[in-house]
Amino acid sequence: MALNTQKAWHHINSDEVVTQLQSDLNDGLNSSKVKQRQEEFGPNSITGQKPVPAWKRLLLQFHNPLIYILLFATIVTIFLKEYVDAGVIFAVVLINAIIGFIQESKAEEAINSLKKMLSSSATVVRDGEKISIPAVELVPGDIVFLASGDKVPADMRLVECKDMQIDESALTGESVASEKSLQELSEDTVLADRNNMAFAGTLVTYGGGKGIVTGIGDLTETGKIAHMISEAKALETPLTRKIHAFSKLLLWVILGLAAVTFVVGLLYGMRASETFMAAVALAVAAIPEGLPAVVTITLAIGVRRMASRNAIIRKLSAVETLGSTTVICSDKTGTLTENQMTVQKLLAGAETYDLSGSGYQPEGELTQSGKPTSLSDNAALHHLLVAGLISNDSRLKEEDSRWTVEGDPTEGALIAAAMKAGYGLKQCVAEFKRIDTIPFESDRQYMATLHRMDSGHNLIYLKGSVEQILARCTSQMDQNGEQVTLENDAIEAKVKEFAGQGMRVLAFAMQQVPSSEDTLEAFNQREPNQSLVFVGLQAMIDPPRAEAVRAVATCQKAGVRVKMITGDHVITASAIASQIGLQNNPGQKTDSLEAITGRELSDLSESEVIETADRVSVFARVAPEQKLQLVNALQSRQHVVAMTGDGVNDAPALKQADIGIAMGISGTEVSKEAADMVLTDDNFSSIEAAVEEGRNVFDNLIKFITWILPTNMGQGLVIMVAILFGITLPVLPVQALWLNMTTAVFLGLMLAFEPREFGIMTRSPREPDAPILSKEMIGRVLSVSTLLLIGAFGLFQWSQIQGASIEESRTLAVTLFVVVQSFFLFNCRSLTNSIFKTPINSNPWIWGGIAAMMISQLLFIYTPVMNTLFHSAPLSLNQWLLMLGYGVIVMLLIEGEKAFWRHRNSQEGKK
């Protein structure tokens, strides 16, 4: 009979689980069952996705309309026997293909990282013997022993556990280790709350136990995530979508104009070969050969700039995607928060105190009602802080100016709190000599330590859950150190207040015992009537990063909505969301921040999930598949989604998002491989900086496209007009190639270095479906193209009338394009602001590019070799003055047009 492993094992009694999996707690599986199940279920490893062959991935890089244009240009130039130019154009195509080829296969890399997460060995019982086997040989029904420090080798239902805690942060996003138990849970319990299960790839941090394997390989929760990664679709970025559509349109326009030119030439009685060459000249002139190279280089410059702002880009197109982001879905722990528990509130002697500072760094101030306070004023406060410091098994350490905890994060926060108040660990340990300990256990919910004092008596300190500590107390300590009546209601009201702010609350108590009581055995015997003295509460939280608060405000001001998606509890998530200033959807009427849990999300229909994803800003206790579901829901509303994450559970959503952002410090290798960008400082503010750089990259690309198109369109118009009027071509194909390649590299590329314009983060994100060029920019392209047509054609005809050679006239027409485009370059440094308000030295590359272009053009005009290769001829000083004068006129006309649009837009803004 086939074994069914697809069940809600957390909902079934542990004895019944053993029965259903046909195993035995004492003897385990026998050899025949192991062999049978290995044949049925296969190895305990994750199945990799069949990779796309390398040759196919390389060929797919050429599947793009813009590449078709360039390949056509290559064929044309070979046909014209211009082999050098053909080589240059094909080199551009090849470089682009190689870059795309290298940056693929993210899914395969992520799955390989997941495979490494499974532990290498496991201790099991088989045939009644306890043995160690390779983890890959585990089968459902195996009885596995777990101890502190072990990596869990498969999914299993726990059948024994003693004080077991497992770090499941990589799988669930929960920052605090999960305390394990054996009791069965309700069937709809979310993954993060399945405390009777242990999951493959997680780490046992405390205690030990035994479990029965319920899932291996692809059937584990980690395996399911691997499947989701492979299923996630690779999306086109906004830029690639726009360039694709733009290139397709350009392809048909160029081919259409070339065909019209050919037909018109024939109608005018021109020879077919001559007409064909004219059509080829038009096609070559109109193709923007430099566009893909400049796009790639501009993105690469963005990568470099982002790296200096703690964002490492793994995929070039991610640079621009950041600039069009409309929603950022961020994890809470470590990204929006410090990922360091911090005590912020204390209750001692019926008085409430605040403790400043953030994280484990022992710097802060103890205040009451905003005023500094003295420890000598409150004996209960003294004992509260000392108890947190010495009833503690963790340690703080400083490495590279960063404080970290060795041990439990909660205990680290208690140590930092005491050190902020001025207590030294060494001095307290020496004064309060620990002689016995009762470690924390999940069923007991407290830790007790016994200390020998020099005063002739011993002291017991307890820390733990409020409920368990208060149940053992009969009095409380006041500010003078006296025992007074225990005020349960007042304490519980304060606990509720702290918890409502998303804080985790610990209670502390003490008891003075005779020096002869040197163990805690007698204390245990008094359970539960131990007559302790309640000394106070410490309330802690993983606080928001100060820089994250500023970054969230900047993003929201820029029209980028920020949503928190976390595995943490809803109260904590809501409290942090309020502190960092998260806002509701702008369309919502209510001011209160709405939050929803993973369980509530699972009860919604598909349409309700889409509406909720768009409306709600805080999602708590979400499962891995729900993160993916939320990303898909937002994308269905045409949002460009950036998703942050650090755990294995985040990888599918990171890959599905338009841009996946992994954490460099705390992130798993799986999340980094699935992401497009990695933050080296795990800080949300770096995302805001990257969005800013992304917007600048897109701005610069639009500036380049607005600048380059008039060159191509102007040349095309010159050739078309020549054909229509039956006049000699003013620009030859080889001259058009020279013009296109040199101006793109020496002039247009310099726009990629333009610094960010003022107010870049105060405007709304671009609409995802907006065209790559606005009506205003299309009008400008047409205006400059027409001015180039008038200038180049006019000068060509004028020089012919003056008796110049055809080579000289063509050189004059080509050089006019260079001069006008050099002046137009200054116009394009800002597409809206006046050239006279753009700092002249803010981009020195512009001046270097113009100098390089002029030197190249002088060689084109005045050297015999270039005269022979490109059919050019020397020009006179008067001709240069005419061209320079015309360039100034074009520049001023464009500035006038920009002023008109500024005035019109400002008037519309006032309405």
Q: What share of the chain is helix, strand, coil (3-state, %, to 5)?
A: 50, 15, 30
Task: Judge whether 533 and 473 are in contact, CB under 8 Å.
Answer: yes
Place of tokens 């040989």: 137
Question: How far is it, in rounded angstroms, from Cα 358 to Cα 540?
Answer: 11
**Residue 519 CB: number of other CB atoms within 10 A?**
11
Q: What is the dihedral of CA 653, 655, 656, 661, to 10 degrees?
A: 70
Rounded Cα distance between 373 and 354, Å, is: 10
Report residue 123 CA to chain centroid gap.
Answer: 38
Q: Which residues, 6+ apart, have CB-to-CB distance to 794 below 8 Å?
A: none
CA dihedral 469, 470, 472, 476 (to 10 degrees): 110
Q: How many residues does the chain have?
A: 911
Q: How far is the C-alpha of 892 from the C-alpha of 407, rounded, in Å?
A: 69
Burial-class residue 742 by CB neighbours within 10 Å (0-12, 13-18, 19+). middle
**Measured between alpha carbons, how far is 115 from 47 in angstroms, rounded to an integer?**
8
3-state SS class at 281:
helix
Q: Are 673 and 232 in contact (CB under 8 A)?
A: no
Is residue 291 within 8 Å of 705, Cβ to Cβ? yes
Burial 347-375 (b: 16+ CB within 10 A, else e): bbbbbbbbbebbbbbbebebebeeeebee
Alpha carbons within 13 angstroms on the beta-carbon side of residue 239 total: 26
Q: DSSP secondary structure string, 852-880?
A: HHHHHHHHHHH-HHHHHHHT-----HHHH
Which amino acid does the sequence have at 429? V
Q: What does each C-alpha distance from 491 to 99, 232, 233, 471, 686 come to in angstroms?
A: 63, 50, 53, 12, 41
d(CA 192, CA 171): 8
User: Tokens 């004028």 identify what position?
Assistant: 798
Half-sphere exposure of 803 (CA within 13 A, CB side): 0
Give alpha helix (H) positions in 768-843: 775-801, 806-827
CA–CA distance from 908 to each of 780, 832, 904 (Å)? 20, 15, 6
Which residue among 331, 408, 650, 682 is the active-site one?
331
The crossing angle, in degrees rounded to 10, of helices 733-746 and 806-827 is: 30
Catalytic-residue membership of 443: no
Q: What token pair was written down for 729?
A: 């071509």
End-to-end CA distance of the chain: 76
Query: Rg of the chain over CA atoms, in angstroms?
Result: 36
User: Got the DSSP string for 640-677?
Assistant: -EEEEE-SGGGHHHHHHSSEEEEETTT--HHHHHH-SE
Residue 531: Cβ-neighbour burial (10 angstroms; 0-12, 13-18, 19+): exposed
CB atoms within 10 A of CB 270: 17
Look up residue 424 and give its amino acid.
G
Catalytically annotated residues: 331
